[in-house]
Amino acid sequence: MARILDREKALLLRKRGESYSQIKKQLGISKSTLSYWLRDYPLSKERVSELRDWNEHRIENFRATLKKKRENRLRETYVEQQKSIFPLTQRELFLSGLFLYWGEGTKTAEARLAIANTDPSMIKFFIFWLKRIFGVPKKKLKVYLHLYKDMNINKEIKYWSATTNIPILQFRRPYIKETKFSGINYKRGFGHGTCNIIIGDARLSEKVLMGIKALSNHYLGV
């Protein structure tokens, strides 16, 4: 009885245009048995061509080829951009950090600069920028983390300390969000909470904020 039911199922799938391999995968029946059962139900030339052109192996090869082409293209573009961008002058570096702060920095505090981000590379660039352009040593920086209640808090503090090369003694007590980290989707892979870098310096704050204001006013009519 079971054999009859399997044959009926195989016949139904064949009439839908399924190949022997596809039917075997679904029903677990050997190709030799299927060949015997379905010998009077050949697929049309169009369907055979369709299956040949879109079998899993060909699709996977197609995807791998596209991926390799993209990787090569990105590698070439990266090298081109490296040659085009570097080296940066001091002025160009100053403007780079100014635009970063314009987009990501705190602009309401009059006596301090602060920038917050989940991207470690952006945080590291800001620290580098402060040192290179303004001569701000790391010992003057404070770090304030925004983490989630289901995180390993000590582990994340150590992560940011190692990433920024700033001693834990310069870290303020982190703000712990009630939201669970496990429910947050980090598409770009930044999964260590938000890092805030703070420097209390009224004159430095004035330079940066007035620089941003000058840029804004200059292009106000654009």
Contact (CB, 8 A) for 100 and 126: yes
Per-residue confidence band for 206, with pLDDT thresholds at 50, 70 and 90: very high
The reported pLDDT for the residue numbered 57 is 63
- Scored b (16 or more CB within 10 A) or e, 59-87 reads eeeeeeeeeeeeeeeeeeeeeeeeeeeee
The reported pLDDT for the residue numbered 93 is 97
* Residue 188, pLDDT above cutoff 80: no
Render pLDDT for 75-127 as a digit per residue (tens, 0 to 9).
Answer: 999 999 999 999 999 999 999 999 999 999 999 888 999 999 999 999 999 99
The alpha helices in 42-119, defined as continuous H runs, are: 45-53, 56-85, 90-104
What is the residue-averaged pLDDT of the chain?
89
Top pLDDT among 34 and 215 is at 215
Share of the chain above pLDDT 70, in %: 91
The reported pLDDT for the residue numbered 203 is 96
Contact (CB, 8 A) for 33 and 20: no
**Residue whose pair of structure tokens reads 């620290």 in the numeric block:** 127
Q: What is the mean pLDDT of residues 175-203?
A: 84
